[in-house]
Structure 1
Amino acid sequence: MRVAIVSHRPLGVISTGGGRIIRDLAVGLRERGLHVDVYSLSRKGLGCPRDDHFRNIECVEISEDLLRKILLLPSRALSLASKEALLFIKLMIQFDIDRISKLYKDLMEIICSRNYDLAILETTYLSHLGHMLSLKGLPSMLRIHNVEAEYIASLSYKSLREFVFRSMQRIEKKVLEMINNRVTISMRDKEIISKLYKLETVYLGPTVKGSKKDCSRKDQNNIESLGLECGRYALYVGSSHKPNIIAVNNILQSIKKDNIKITLVIVGEVGRYIRKNSGNIGYVKILNFVPDEVLRSLYCCAATSLAPIFSGSGVPIKLIESLLYEVPTITSRKAELMIPGLKHLENVIILERIGNISEALKNLYKDEDLREKVSRGARLLVEKSIGFEKTIERYYAYMTKLTSFSL
């Protein structure tokens, strides 16, 4: 089976986030024996990975055409200046621009000329491209990372959230109707899309490669080189998206208020936004970007992981990674709706409110029996449903059904 995966974001520098599940899907399908090519839309370069993960995968970097850049420049500037609070303006314009974009027409011609059996379009933003490919006779599958109406509204100013949600809801419904084959990485998103838009989707889950089996003595050495000790720190991983910034600042405030003397390691772009707030808090180590190997080491050696979810949509990749590495994880009630099988005190610790996080962290950190119980529960969940190989098998079965193709 020949598969084209189209990413709306650059994939050159990845530790976690949406780019991670795109890359790992490509790697997993290639390991399954499929021919996989990746097309990465990039405005600033770094569209393709430069590491061993992609050594058997062709990655084509597609540059944005000048007209699209010019038309989107004002709304991009507004989004940047407002720290994503006005992102909805760009998206409302972008969906119309993409109908006439030379970028998509050129990309469609390239993909159609290379005899693929299936195209996988990553995120709702590529629905129109999927529609165009379907008209040319190429089966297409849209992978939905978020319910955009909910996610974009959560980034907006409070006074605008209802307006943004209703506006994006109308646009998103219209865009999703363009393509018939829709899959989600979150069970909660599947149910929201059914309720909001009366559209059917298939839940397949997030594709994240990782396993406790990968942990080794080398990982301990990596941790020691960072000035850390295995099993003696809590881990938070996050991008610079607004929900992560809010969450990590609330975590720091809770730790500071309760004077919790536990080392908290913060990884990812979110670290750039909390240095001022962490200046008076001991036991906090901020790492910005780290290579994939070091991130794996941090998960391998963490005593616990923090992955609270109180806003936004989709599935936080840090939650899946924590479970794959069998790290005792503190999350929130919302996570139970995203991933089937999550249960409080069985495979995760569930918070009702983020203000309780320091107490939960303290209790979990000092209770070795509870940590072992939750870790065992995570391992069972991985073996049953969310492990990388099992997830890839679900995708492969669905793709085979779409193409009526059997290896």
Structure 2
Amino acid sequence: MVQVMNERKILFLTTQIIVPPTDGGKQCTYYRVRAIAEQQRVQLTMFNHGNQMGVLQNNKTYFPKSLSVSLIEPFHRDVKGAPWFRRIHWGLSWLLSGKCRWEKLLSSQHVTATLMQKILTDNIRVVVLENPFLATLIDIPELRRERIRVLLVEHNVEYKYFLDSLRLPAYIATLEARRIHELEKRVISQVNRTICISPQDSRDLQQEFGVGTVCYLPPLLSSKERCWTRNTSKQIVFTGGLSFYPNLHGIMWLLEHIWSDFLLQYPDYKLVITGKVSDAVKQKLAVYPSVKLTGFLTAQELEDCMIGAQFVVVPIIKGSGVKIKLLEALSYGIPVVTTGESHRGVMYDALQENVPYMYTSDPHMFLEYMCRMASDLDLCERLGMEARIFFDRTYASDTNLRAWLQLLNEGIEE
């Protein structure tokens, strides 16, 4: 049977280059856009914030032929790594602007006019913003007057995520969070729908802003060809670069409160941490025994490392949103010990059946669960099988794809 392509055009806007899909945010956007592009006409416009060279040419293999891809090149220079006098100037400008950082970086009448003309002349029927900051690039009220549907995908509750994920002086962090809160509130009130990929975020936004247009859908992710199998490698894996504060915070929590007690009972085990690590963090971790830092791994190396683990830990406590590193482990059918905070990103899905992983935010219980994983291979095997089934049915299923397509096209007039 020949599949009929839906000719309604959808434009996805994102503030980052989503290929290669090497982290949680990129994966959540990339796999969803790719899957939808196989069913419907899709355009993807990415803001090339890092001013990367040859983005489209070097990543052709990631994009199906049905997907039209374009870039918005940087039009305001960011100040990361800039001389101190430029940082001070930019900081004063930010302070007086009344805008949050991303809103300031994306403000351009010329870019907005060009993008709006593109949307109207290309007969775009749906515009999807991958975060609320992107509303700065378009005129939402005008698009809605033109009967163009505008949706916001919330990967996190942005103002909460900001406070949890960055370490800044309190007065700066509080002011920036307040500005993000106001922007988030305004955008959510303007769009047709806000889709959260974490059930907890959906509840939080509904309660915080009192709007009925916020809903939850599971992330649309890809099933894995390879699968974890029972082993006695005595390797416990954590995936994620430690330059990201919630990752570093979670690992330090594990090392400070749990790791030494675990080694007393299982001295032959190693904690393997993947991803780039700064010299300062390396020194910080050097005092803890049986910790291996792999540094950056290719996609193939990372997959081999994960599948070779006896089990995975996701000790993340900071930051809102769904923890993709948890879902990635489940996608391979790997047994996992994680926190209650990570569990809340999948809570309503998981409560429909037996939870296919162990979770707790209590250090003593976390230790107990790790010990059970180390001593009971039958338990690991059972959880691994349940994890794979749960992931494929919830996140990588045709049912989930149809739910996304239905919500994207809801109420569109021909």
- TM normalised by structure 2 equals 0.80
Superposed CA deviations along residues 289-340 of structure 1, whole A, max 9, x for unmatched, are 3333333333333321212231211111111111121111111112333212
- What is aligned with 2:112? 104
1:253 maps to 2:256: yes
CA contact (8 A) 2:101 2:176 kept: no
Report the AA paired with residue 142 of structure 1. L
1:139 maps to 2:149: yes
Which deviates further from its counterpart, 33-42 or 190-199? 33-42
CA contact (8 A) 1:230 1:301 kept: no
Superposed CA deviations along residues 52-91 of structure 1, whole A, max 9, x for unmatched, are 23142332121022xx33xx5489989x99xxxxxx9796
Cα drift, residue 232 of structure 1: 4.1
Report the AA paired with residue 244 of structure 1. N
Which deviates further from its counterpart, 89-98 or 391-400? 89-98
Cα drift, residue 122 of structure 1: 0.7
Cα distance in structure 1, aligned partners of 2:244 and 2:14: 19
Superposed CA deviations along residues 88-133 of structure 1, whole A, max 9, x for unmatched, are 9796254366454433332332333322332221112113436154
- What is aligned with 1:203? 216
Cα drift, residue 398 of structure 1: 1.2
Counterpart of 1:174 (choices 161, 181, 186) is: 186
- What secondary structure does 1:302 align onto? coil
Report the AA paired with residue 252 of structure 2. N
Gaps of 5+ in 2: 1-5, 88-93
Q: Hey, which of these two has a bigger chunk of helix by percent?
A: 1
Cα distance in structure 2, aligned partners of 1:103 and 1:345: 49
Cα distance in structure 2, aligned partners of 1:118 and 1:54: 20
Superposed CA deviations along residues 216-238 of structure 1, whole A, max 9, x for unmatched, are 7xx99xxxxxxxx8854222122
The 1:133/1:210 distance shift into structure 2, 3 A limit, reads same
Cα distance in structure 2, aligned partners of 1:299 and 1:51: 27
Counterpart of 2:239 (choices 237, 240, 251) is: 237
- What is aligned with 2:3? none
The 1:288/1:127 distance shift into structure 2, 3 A limit, reads farther
Cα drift, residue 138 of structure 1: 2.5
Counterpart of 1:118 (choices 106, 109, 126) is: 126
Which deviates further from its counterpart, 385-394 or 13-22? 385-394
CA contact (8 A) 2:338 2:357 kept: yes
- Aligned counterparts, 1:240-389, within 5 A: 240-254=243-257, 256-258=259-261, 259=263, 260-269=267-276, 274-339=281-346, 340-342=348-350, 346-354=355-363, 357-389=366-398
1:52 maps to 2:61: yes
- What secondary structure does 2:190 align onto? coil
CA contact (8 A) 2:157 2:321 kept: yes
The 1:397/1:300 distance shift into structure 2, 3 A limit, reads farther
The 1:210/1:76 distance shift into structure 2, 3 A limit, reads farther
- What secondary structure does 1:3 align onto? strand
- What secondary structure does 1:403 align onto? coil
- What is aligned with 1:226? none
| Percent identity of paired positions between Structure 1 and Structure 2 | 18
Superposed CA deviations along residues 144-170 of structure 1, whole A, max 9, x for unmatched, are 111112111223458456666555433
Gaps of 5+ in 1: 82-87, 221-228
- What is aligned with 2:196? 184
The 1:74/1:369 distance shift into structure 2, 3 A limit, reads closer
CA contact (8 A) 2:250 2:318 kept: no
- Aligned counterparts, 1:40-79, within 5 A: 40-43=46-49, 44-45=51-52, 47-48=55-56, 50=59, 52-56=61-65, 57-65=67-75, 68-69=76-77, 73=79
CA contact (8 A) 2:11 2:42 kept: yes
Report the AA paired with residue 216 of structure 2. Y
- What secondary structure does 1:151 align onto? helix
The 1:251/1:92 distance shift into structure 2, 3 A limit, reads same
Cα distance in structure 2, aligned partners of 1:379 and 1:138: 38
Report the AA paired with residue 292 of structure 2. K
Which deviates further from its counterpart, 353-362 or 376-385? 353-362
Cα distance in structure 2, aligned partners of 1:271 and 1:345: 39
The 1:168/1:11 distance shift into structure 2, 3 A limit, reads closer
CA contact (8 A) 2:132 2:183 kept: no
CA contact (8 A) 2:235 2:311 kept: yes
The 1:106/1:272 distance shift into structure 2, 3 A limit, reads farther
Which deviates further from its counterpart, 307-316 or 95-104? 95-104
